[in-house]
Structure 1
Amino acid sequence: MIIINSSKGQDFSPAPCPLPSTRPIFWAQAEELVTLLRQYDLVSLRALMDVSQSLAERTMAQFHGFAADGGKPALLAYDGEAYRSLGAAEFSADDLHAAQQRLRILSGLYGLLRPLDLIQPHRLEMGYAVRNEHGKHLYAFWRKRITDELNRQLAREPHPLLINLASHEYAKAVDKNRLRAPWIDIQFKEEGAGKLKIMAVHAKRARGMMAAFLIRQRIDRPEGITAFTGGGYGFRPDLSTNRQLVFTRPAA
Structure 2
Amino acid sequence: MKIITSPAKLMSIDKKSDHYKPTQPKFIKEATLIQSYLKEKSPAFLSELMEISDKLANENWQRNQQWKAKPKEDESNQALFSFTGEVYRGLDAHTLSTDALDYLQENYRMLSGLYGLLKPSDIIMPYRLEMGRNFAFETYKNLYEFWQEKLSTQINKETKKGELLLNLASTEYFKATYKKKLHAHVIDFDFQEIKSGKPKTIVVYTKHARGLMVRYCAETNAQTLDDVKAFHYEGYFIDEDRSTDKKLVFVR
The two structures have a TM-score, normalised by structure 1, of: 0.94
Q: Which residue of 1 aligns with 2:19?
A: 18
Q: Which runs of 5+ in 2 are unaligned?
A: none
Q: Distance in 1 between matches of 2:94 and 2:179?
A: 32
Q: Check the 8 A contact 1:132/1:141 in 2, yes or no.
A: no
Q: Distance in 2 between matches of 1:23 and 1:66?
A: 14
Q: Check the 8 A contact 1:134/1:140 in 2, yes or no.
A: no
Letter of the structure 2 residue corresponding to residue 24 of structure 1 = P
Letter of the structure 1 residue corresponding to residue 58 of structure 2 = E
Q: Distance in 2 between matches of 1:14 and 1:200?
A: 26
Q: Check the 8 A contact 1:5/1:106 in 2, yes or no.
A: yes
Range 102-111 or range 67-76, more displaced: 67-76
Alpha-carbon shift at residue 41 of structure 1 (Å): 1.8
Letter of the structure 2 residue corresponding to residue 94 of structure 1 = D
Alpha-carbon shift at residue 44 of structure 1 (Å): 1.5
Q: Distance in 2 between matches of 1:208 and 1:14?
A: 18
Q: Which runs of 5+ in 1 are unaligned?
A: none
Alpha-carbon shift at residue 206 of structure 1 (Å): 0.5
CA displacement, residues 164-183 of structure 1 (integer Å, 9 cap, x when unaligned): 11111111112111101111
Q: Which residue of 1 aligns with 2:150?
A: 145
Question: Which of 79, 89, 100 is matched with 2:84 structurally?
Answer: 79
Q: Which residue of 2 aligns with 1:117?
A: 122
Q: Which residue of 1 aligns with 2:112?
A: 107
Q: Distance in 1 between matches of 2:192 and 2:176?
A: 24
Range 213-222 or range 235-244, more displaced: 213-222
1:203 aligns with 2:198: no
Alpha-carbon shift at residue 135 of structure 1 (Å): 2.4
Q: Distance in 2 between matches of 1:246 and 1:53?
A: 40
Percent same amino acid at aligned positions?
36
Question: Which of 213, 233, 236 is matched with 1:230 structurally?
Answer: 233
Alpha-carbon shift at residue 194 of structure 1 (Å): 3.2
Q: Which residue of 2 aligns with 1:32?
A: 33
Alpha-carbon shift at residue 14 of structure 1 (Å): 4.2
Q: Please, what is the CA RMSD of the aligned residues?
A: 1.3
Q: Check the 8 A contact 1:126/1:139 in 2, yes or no.
A: yes
The two structures have a TM-score, normalised by structure 2, of: 0.94
Alpha-carbon shift at residue 134 of structure 1 (Å): 4.7
CA displacement, residues 123-158 of structure 1 (integer Å, 9 cap, x when unaligned): 111111111235211111111111100000103x8x
Secondary structure of the 1:245 match is strand
1:58 aligns with 2:59: yes
Letter of the structure 1 residue corresponding to residue 134 of structure 2 = A
Q: Which residue of 1 aligns with 2:245?
A: 242
Question: Which of 167, 181, 189 is matched with 2:184 structurally?
Answer: 181
Alpha-carbon shift at residue 15 of structure 1 (Å): 2.0
Q: Check the 8 A contact 2:15/2:81 in 1, yes or no.
A: no
Q: Distance in 2 between matches of 1:127 and 1:247?
A: 27
Q: How does 1:2-13 map to 2 (within 5 A)?
A: 2-13=3-14
Secondary structure of the 2:248 match is strand
Letter of the structure 2 residue corresponding to residue 247 of structure 1 = F
1:69 aligns with 2:74: no
Range 11-20 or range 182-191, more displaced: 11-20
Alpha-carbon shift at residue 242 of structure 1 (Å): 0.3
Q: Check the 8 A contact 1:134/1:141 in 2, yes or no.
A: no
Letter of the structure 2 residue corresponding to residue 170 of structure 1 = Y
Q: Check the 8 A contact 1:6/1:105 in 2, yes or no.
A: yes
Secondary structure of the 2:144 match is helix
